[in-house]
Amino acid sequence: MELVKFCKAMSDETRVRLVGLLMRHELNVGEIVQAVGMGQSRVSRHIKILLDAGLVVVRRDGLWAFYRAVQEGRAHAFLNGASAMIEGEAVFADDLSRTEEVLRRRVEMTREFFDSVAEDWDGLARDVLGELDLAAEILARMEKCSVAADLGCGPGDLLPRLAEKSGSVIGVDNSQKMLDTARSRFPGNKGISLRIGELPHLPLRDWETDFAVLSMVLHHLSEPQLAIAEAGRVLKMGGKLVVAEFDRHDNEHMRTEYGDLRLGVSKAEMENWLGWARFDIKTIAVHPVNKGLHVIMYECVKK
């Protein structure tokens, strides 16, 4: 009986605490250890029990493993029913506070990486993308519009190209050094606005843009689906989103040398996120690049 299995798996305070965190966030074992202040072997043992009960799922990403509470089915319904009681416990509030600090550190590490490579970013990008003219591919999918946004604009290479087809352009990035580099490339250009901010919490108003780009940024995010949802929020109805992203791969070099948090995104996962954010996918194109990688471009319209 499933209910008995679920209840047995939750009959331990540690496992209740773990489920509470994993209902909110996807975490690896090291992050869970920091959040709950327990040894790795103890945490791993309890996670295995939750996995065996079907209450938690694992996402393998190269050499890393990330855990999250199940998101569908009867197990999800069971956890939803227990969530109010879990969140009412004082110990869970402390766990959640420590987890949010761990996640803030994730973001800071990514920002520090991009700050450190801002001046060399063009060379790093060419090393991976080779002959692929990503800007030209994006422009080919763009129609003339009033406002365009490059979400995760980096040093701003794409911004003047977007300005060829748009009355004004907004560039958003969480690295001040990247934005400083971008600003130095087109001083005094009043048609380009640079804003610092995180992609899951964009510094843009609802329906502010006609066209948006997420170009090679989602693999740097802990929760890429939130950035896609935010792109949907800032786009007008019928607005277009172009996403360029690595296909799923197993090249760990991209994590160690280029600061990637994820080893690409599978086509199925991307289609799921775009559908969840109410985007209609119009075209999908696959481009082989260096290091055995492939870039997939998704041309989407907000429904």
Query: What pTM was estimated for this model as a whole?
Result: 0.82
Q: Give the domain ranges of the chain.
A: 2-88, 120-302
48: Cβ–Cβ under 8 A, 6 or more apart, which residues?
A: none
Of 249, 253, 246, 177, which Cα lies nearest the Cα of 218?
246
Dist CA 33 CA 68 (whole Å):
14
Q: What percent of the chain has pLDDT over 90?
A: 76
Tokens representing 243 are 């996403």
Check whether 292 has a pLDDT greater than 90.
yes
> What mean pLDDT is predicted for residues 29-47?
94
Of 41, 178, 199, 28, which Cα lies nearest the Cα of 103?
28
Summarize pLDDT for 252-277 with one digit per residue, the tens.
989 888 889 999 999 999 999 999 99
| Own/partner pairs, 268-271, CB within 8 angstroms, 24+ separation | 270/243, 270/245, 270/296, 270/298
Dist CA 297 CA 263 (whole Å):
16
Check whether 40 has a pLDDT greater than 90.
yes
pLDDT tier at 125, thresholds 50, 70, 90? confident
Domain 120-302 class in CATH: alpha beta
Architecture of domain 2-88: Orthogonal Bundle (1.10)
Check whether 69 has a pLDDT greater than 90.
yes
